[in-house]
């Protein structure tokens, strides 16, 4: 069977959806255009440890210097805020949200 035909049939039955609002989107994307506008992508200078946005003349935030976290590096492509929390896979929306130690 033609692989392209199989892929088109699969997309017709199981269309790709936005990971935030779950509307149907192009199969090559993860976010719809409206949600993409709302997401705060991290492009500024950030702490080398926790990823919080900080002044561009320092590399580690004061919180990580004073009380280092139990990990070496934490990275995200976007800020964890009211818009990104709605995404599937984020702690509040995951199947593990009832287990506080995992959120």
Tell me how far apart the alpha carbons of residues 47 and 14 are, in angstroms, rounded to a whole number: 40
**CA-CA-CA-CA torsion for 78, 82, 83, 89, nearest 10 degrees?**
70
Predicted local confidence at residue 66, as pLDDT: 96
pLDDT band at 12 (very low <50, low <70, confident <90, very high): confident
Q: How confident is the model at residue 18 (pLDDT cuts 50, 70, 90)?
A: confident
Q: Considering only 22-26, 31-35, 95-99, which range has the smallest mean pLDDT?
A: 95-99
* pLDDT on residue 97: 52
Which whole-number Å values give the CA distances from 88 to 80, 91, 103, in the listed order? Answer: 13, 9, 13
Q: Tell me the mean pLDDT in the region 25-48.
A: 82
* pLDDT for 87 beyond 60: yes
Output the average pLDDT for the chain: 77
Q: What is the mean pLDDT of residues 43-47?
A: 82
Average pLDDT over residues 90-98: 50
H helix or E strand, kind and range, residue 65? helix 62-66
Residue 100: which pLDDT band, with cuts at 50, 70 and 90? low
DSSP collapsed to 3 states, 28-50: CCCCCHHHHHHCCECCCCECCCC
């Amino acid at each position: 069977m033609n692989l392209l035909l199989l892929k088109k049939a699969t997309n017709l039955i199981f269309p790709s959806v936005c990971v935030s609002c779950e509307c149907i989107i192009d199969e090559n994307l993860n976010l719809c255009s409206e949600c993409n506008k709302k997401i705060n992508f991290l492009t500024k200078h950030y702490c080398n440890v926790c990823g919080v946005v900080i002044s561009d003349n320092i590399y580690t935030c004061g919180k990580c210097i004073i009380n280092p976290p139990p990990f070496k590096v934490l990275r995200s492509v976007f800020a964890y805020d009211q818009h990104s929390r709605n995404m599937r896979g984020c702690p509040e929306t995951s199947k593990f949200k009832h287990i506080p130690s995992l959120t």
